[in-house]
Amino acid sequence: MSPVTSKSATFTDKADFSSAQPEPDKPTAPLGRDRPTIVIDERTAGVGLDLRNLWAYRELLYFLVWRDVKVRYKQTALGVAWVVLQPLIMMLIFSVLFGKLGGIPSEGIPYPLFAYAGLLPWTFFSGAVTLSSNSVVNSANLITKIYFPRLIVPIAAVGATLVDLAISSVVLAALMVYYRQVPTVSVLLIPVLLLLLIMVALGLGILMSALNVKYRDVRIAIPFLIQVLFFASPVIYPLSLVPEKLRWAMALNPMAGIIEGFRAALYGHRSVDWTSLGISAAVTIVLFTCAIITFRKMERGFADIV
């Protein structure tokens, strides 16, 4: 017996069927539309220092500096004492080998004071360049996960080394008291020299950190480069010992004028060599500017390469 179907039932079924038809696609909001999106490209990256962006991430900079200071001396028996022992022991060795046995002149001041005034900025420079040149590669996990100004990484490495410089300066003050060396008014030049020292360390460190991401040979070349610069800088000898015809070439090394300026400002045993210091300052500014431009141009590919 066939089922009886009413017209109303048939109409209802048709209505239900039409309502079950899929509706045409509606435009949907793009995923993450309600979230801020940061795109790093040529229009947003630029080549400047971007101090405003760095200032916005100052808390991260402080955290990275504090992290580098703690990690460096974690699980060490002597801890921060290594900061003092390294230049102090080198000063004692140089005083015996070059001061007494080698007879290298120290321009009328005790050779330990002469050597330590050169070792103090040099130790900071070598440590800052070594740490900052490897900083981007060592922070690969951080760089590939979140956005922040990449310049913070090498700057933090140099900032951590500034803590070592401050601690080592206490030994210099003690040596000056022991040798009864009274600073003169030229000591007011120290802040300017310190600024130049930080700039040259930042410049070389930032440049090497960018190149190290793409060319891992940089990690191997840095110790050799620092060793060559050590002998090309008046750390264990005065610049006056270099023949006058070659002093202009020595001045192209920015550390030469800075180290000589430190000695003249601290001890006042002679006037500041403004020509050498001026050349060092000019080379430092050029190096710092080129380093920033190179880093900002290469940082867009860090997350893909590192």
Identify the DSSP state of 241. G
pLDDT at residue 17 tops 50 = no
- Give backbone dihedrals phi and psi of 48, rounded to 5 degrees, phi first: -85, 180
Higher pLDDT, 11 or 160: 160
Contact 259, 238 (CB under 8 A): no
pLDDT at residue 196 tops 90 = yes
Q: Residues 44-73: what's their mean pLDDT?
A: 79
Computed over every residue of the chain, the mean pLDDT equals 82
Distance CA(256)–CA(247), nearest Å, equals 10
pLDDT at residue 12 tops 50 = no
Contact 232, 256 (CB under 8 A): yes
- Give backbone dihedrals phi and psi of 84, rounded to 5 degrees, phi first: -85, -40
pTM of this structure: 0.80
pLDDT at residue 89 tops 70 = yes
Q: What is the pLDDT of residue 86?
A: 87
What is the identity of the amino acid at 186?
Answer: S
Higher pLDDT, 33 or 218: 218
SS3 of 267, please? helix
Q: What is the pLDDT of residues 260-299, one digit of tens each?
A: 999 999 998 778 888 889 999 999 999 999 999 999 888 8
Identify the DSSP state of 99. I
Q: What is the pLDDT of residue 81?
A: 78
- Give backbone dihedrals phi and psi of 31, rounded to 5 degrees, phi first: -60, 130
Q: What is the pLDDT of residue 13?
A: 43
Per mean pLDDT, which of 11-20, 133-142, 227-236, 242-251 is the most reliable? 227-236
Instruction: Find the length of the chain.
Output: 306
Distance CA(36)–CA(68), nearest Å, equals 31
Q: Residues 240-259: what's their mean pLDDT?
A: 87
Q: How many alpha carbons lie under 13 Å from residue 70 in its C-beta half-sphere?
A: 6
- Band (16; pLDDT cuts 50, 70, 90): very low
Q: How many alpha carbons lie under 13 Å from residue 154 in its C-beta half-sphere?
A: 31
Q: Residues 16-34: what's their mean pLDDT?
A: 47
Distance CA(133)–CA(162), nearest Å, equals 16
